[in-house]
Amino acid sequence: MNSLLPVWIDLSAVGVGAFAGALYAIFNKRFDLVGVIAIAILTGLGGGLIRDLLLASGRPSGMQDKYIITVLVAVLLALLLGRWYLALRSLGERIVATLDSLAMGFFAVAGTYKALLFNASILVAVLLGVITAVGGGVLRDIVARRTPAIFTGGPLYATATALGSLLFAILDRIDLNRDLAVALTVIMIFTIHMLSIRFRLHLKPALDSLDFDDREGKG
């Protein structure tokens, strides 16, 4: 197995996740500064914290100065760029969605690879890759009192990261060059997620018949 992934991958994902979380807290929920920082921390670090707790890997990697400083810098950028984002909301949302998609790819790689380092099976590694990628967003939504986006038939967050995590685990198992494996995984996750946004490729409710029954009952 290859050596540890470069720390910039983790920090980049944390920074982008925290930035998106801060923008959400500022404009969608109108939180105060404490609330914005809290949401940024949850979004940027939440998935990794859950992963490390499940792996029982000791102190979570996110509890280091460089990660917390990255979150605070992301919050500062969100505050500084806030007026631009508000004035160009449509363009800003597309840019944030693009960055968020890239962050998901890096989170998935980091989560999957760390699980493999702890001798997890491929199935467990994929699960932890998905948790790392979407866990922060789930915690953000819970705190903001809304149903987590990955459960409501939105863009293919979990599906994209699951497929990407599986790809990375397989490429790592066959000892493909680490940098190439990371690039292929991030490209795959980014492509699936952005296509799902562009063409509205969403998962349907688990049982469509329930919606039909509801309409019958109302009739």
**pLDDT tens-digit readout, 194-208:** 999 989 888 887 777
Separation between Cα atoms, residue 128 and residue 202, nearest integer Å:
23
Q: What digits encode the pLDDT tens for the residues 75-87?
A: 999 999 887 877 7
Identify the pLDDT of residue 196: 94
Average the pLDDT over 110-138 and give the result. 95
Identify the pLDDT of residue 57: 86
The CA-atom distances, in angstroms, between 117 and each of 50, 120, 123, 184 are 16, 7, 14, 20
What is the residue-averaged pLDDT of the chain?
A: 89
Between 145 and 210, residue with greater pLDDT:
145
Between 93 and 69, residue with greater pLDDT:
69
pLDDT at 2 over 50: no
DSSP 126: H
What are the helix and strand counts (H, E) for the chain? 9, 0
pLDDT above 90 coverage of the chain, percent = 62
Q: What is the Rg, in whole angstroms, of the alpha carbon atoms belonging to the chain? A: 18
Between 187 and 152, residue with greater pLDDT:
187
pLDDT at 165 over 70: yes
Q: Tell me which of 17-21, 48-52, 93-97 is least confident.
A: 93-97
Q: What digits encode the pLDDT tens for the residues 44-78?
A: 999 999 999 999 988 898 999 999 999 999 999 99
Average the pLDDT over 27-40 and give the result. 94
How crowded is the C-beta side of 46, counted as CA atoms within 13 Å? 24
